[in-house]
């Protein structure tokens, strides 16, 4: 469990580093694809789309989630992560 959480944190960091670029770029989509892969392993689910879209919405709309994420990855990172997740699943 800890290894998966560390891997997800590393992906989140890489996504945050792309902040300011279009969320539809190949690099960002690849990172969210990896995030999907790790989430499926972590949660032992075949399809995490609904869960990830709910998470993406939380990054964008829930103040406490946004503030917590931004405190780790930088101001605006939560909104960017939410947009990247939505772009990946809603293609």
Cα–Cα dist 20/49, whole Å: 24
Residues 43-88: pLDDT tens digits? Answer: 999 999 999 999 999 999 999 999 999 999 999 999 999 999 999 9
Cα–Cα dist 15/29, whole Å: 9
Residues 11-40: pLDDT tens digits? Answer: 999 999 999 999 999 999 999 999 999 999
Cα–Cα distance list, 29 to 1, 13, 72 (Å): 24, 14, 21
Cα–Cα dist 36/1, whole Å: 16
Residues 59-68: pLDDT tens digits? Answer: 999 999 999 9
In the block, which residue shows the tokens 């032992």? 44
Cα–Cα dist 24/41, whole Å: 24
Global pTM reads: 0.93
* Domains located in the chain, CATH noted: 2-89 (1.10.490)
């Amino acid at each position: 469990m800890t290894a998966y959480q560390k891997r997800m944190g590393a992906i989140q960091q890489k996504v945050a580093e792309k902040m300011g670029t279009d969320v539809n770029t190949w690099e960002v989509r690849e990172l969210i694809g990896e995030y999907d892969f790790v989430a499926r392993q972590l949660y032992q689910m075949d399809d995490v789309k609904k869960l990830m879209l709910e998470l993406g919405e939380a990054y964008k709309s829930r103040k406490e989630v946004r503030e917590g994420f931004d405190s780790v990855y930088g101001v605006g990172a939560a909104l960017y992560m939410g947009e990247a997740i939505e772009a990946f699943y809603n293609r």
